[in-house]
Structure 1
Amino acid sequence: EKQMSSGKVAEGKGEDEVSMHKRAQKAEKKLMSSVGKAIQDFGMIKDGDRVLVGLSGGKDSLSLLHILLALKRKAPIKFDVAACTVDPQTPEYDPSTLKTYLQELNVAYFYESHGIIQQASCSLQKNSICSFCSRMKRGVLYSVCEREGFNVLALGQHLDDQAESFLMSAFHNGQLRTMKANYLAREHAVRIIRPLTYVREQVTREFAMAKKLPVINENCPGCFEAPQERARIKMVLAAQEQIFPDLYGK
């Protein structure tokens, strides 16, 4: 009886592994399709491009890195993919564990540590630290692109981010605009691309869980993972999606 019991446990574990593998394959296929379409529609990646992924360690940027690496292996064109993490030096957010993970992936990796949070805390109000930190991180990423010869910077904002930014711009600035999917930052001679522009946040969440990606939660004291205003916008969109199920499909 004991042998039969352990056999059933072993069989159950095998089924769990098979189920997890199938979920990972399904999530990867869905993500690959949406990212591939965005890259094609917006002409994001060209033959010979050197692409640097801004890697925070969140589910979105990690998912983006994995999909770009997979596309690199399958694409008819040749392009390079590397990653860069900007550590703002706050104890609530420690992305240093990414070093080992990226080494295992055999991906060129740049880890930039800068005292951004301390600099912001000394001169800014708390509610403006988030935007300051974001600008400073972007500046570091531009510097790495210029220093290391990357002509494309890939960022991990997805379709939900695009919709939220659109509403925030409309409500706060009276302008109908959102983040661009592909544009040139002329002062740095670097193209900015957002390959997840057709991807729902739920898809990157499913992919990260299925692939067991080493996601790092951002708990910065100046910029929490879900800032209050963006959280309100999320609620507005969620309510509208209940009424209009194809809201994001349009």
Structure 2
Amino acid sequence: MQPIPPRPLLRLTGRAISDYDMIRAGDRVLLAVSGGKDSLGLLQVLRHLQKKAPLTFDLGVATVDPGIDGFDPAPLISYMESLGVPYFYERQAIAARAQATLGNDSFCSYCARMRRGTLYRVARDHGYNVLALAQHLDDIAESFLMSAFHAGTLHTMRAHYRVDAGDLRVIRPFIYVRERQLRDFARAAALPVIPDNCPACFRKPTERAAMKALLAAEEARHKDLFRNLLSAVRPLLGADPSSRG
């Protein structure tokens, strides 16, 4: 039986989709699923909205296995078969290529870029016009602080944009959702989360982990912290879905 996402999660996701015109009638949406709680949670939310929303859209799922030692997303194959969703599993030697070509780039940014390129290709090959990613409000806030602190720029992840080639739109329906809401849902619904779904990132402290700790400490003192941060980053999230980014 399909787990029913809690109402607050559905409400926040629905509001983001509406505010940023993320999903339109007839869209073919490809969801990137890594095996973590966020992407598996978004899968359940989008499947629920598929049945309840007043517009019709198709939904497929794609996983890019980067070939990282200790990370095996293969169990997702049988899970997606049990759900009956179109599923595309791509194994790429990203970790091996990173060792040879990384240079001054970080592994995480290199891996993300390579995985994104593979997802674009899968979407195009199978006729999907929208790529859905599962970053949430905590991710948005962390990226904003990292950009301000370490790059001297005001930047964060976009809510909805069109890729440079112009043929795909990228959406982030969880931009209003807190990470703890997804953690609670994954636990309550017994979602098949793959532990440490990116072990290369967990083996050493990262700047993102430092931002997460900073935000947790500040939120303990200021309960409206994330509401205020959302207001601050709204101009950066993008309002024009035809824009590049």
The 3-state SS of whatever aligns with 1:82 is: strand
Which whole-Å deviations, capped at 9, do the CAs of 1:31-63 have from their partners, x for residues lacking one? 111100100111100000000000001000000
How far apart in 1 are the matches of 2:146 and 2:29? 29
Task: Return the alpha-carbon distance in structure 2 between the equivalents of residues 40 and 171 of structure 1.
Answer: 31
Report the Cα offset of residue 212 of structure 1: 0.3
CA RMSD of aligned residues (A): 1.9
Query: Aligned residue for 1:92?
Result: 70
Counterpart in the other structure of 2:124: 146
- In 2, Cα distance between equivalents of 1:82 and 1:113: 17
Counterpart secondary structure, 1:110: strand
Query: Match for 1:245: what amino acid?
Result: K
Shift of 1:72: 0.5
Q: What SS does the corresponding residue of 1:168 show, helix, strand or coil? A: helix
Cα contact 2:67–2:95 (8 A) shared by 1: yes
Task: State the match for 1:41 in structure 2.
Answer: 19
Q: What amino acid maps onto 1:139 in structure 2?
A: G
Q: AA paired with 2:57?
A: F
**Structure 1 residue 90 displacement after superposition:** 2.1
2:100 is the alignment partner of 1:112: no
Aligned equivalents of 1:102 and 1:232: distance in 2? Answer: 34
Report the Cα offset of residue 169 of structure 1: 0.3
- Determine whether 1:80 maps to 2:73: no
Aligned-partner SS, 2:226? coil
4+ residue runs of structure 1 moved beyond 6 angstroms?
Answer: none
SS at 2:202's partner residue?
coil
How big is the shift at 1:171? 0.6
Q: Percent identity?
A: 51
Query: Where does residue 218 of structure 2 map in the other structure?
Result: 240
Q: Deviations over 1:175-202 (max 9, x none)?
A: 1111010010031511000000000000
Which of 160, 166, 174 is equivalent to 1:196? 174
Question: Gaps spanning 5+ residues in structure 2: where?
Answer: 229-245
Distance 1:66 1:219 in 2: 18
Structure 1 residues 26, 99: CA separation in 2 closer, same or farther (over 3 Å shift)? closer
Shift of 1:125: 5.2
How big is the shift at 1:85?
0.1
Q: Secondary structure at the match of 2:106?
A: helix
Secondary structure of 1:95's match?
A: coil
Aligned to 1:132: 110
Partners of 2:204 and 2:135 in 1: CA distance: 14
Task: Give yes or no for contact 1:27–1:210 (8 Å, CA) kept in 2.
Answer: no
Superposition deviation, residue 219 in structure 1: 5.5
Query: 2:98·2:107 contact (CA, 8 Å) conserved in 1?
Result: yes
* CA distance in 1: counterparts of 2:14 and 2:36, whole angstroms: 21
- 1:52 maps onto 2:30 in alignment: yes
- Higher helix proportion (structure 1 or 2): 1
Give unpaired runs (5+ residues) of structure 1. 1-23
* Larger mean Cα displacement after TM superposition, 86-95 or 164-173: 86-95
Please identify the structure whose Cα radius of gyration is greater.
1
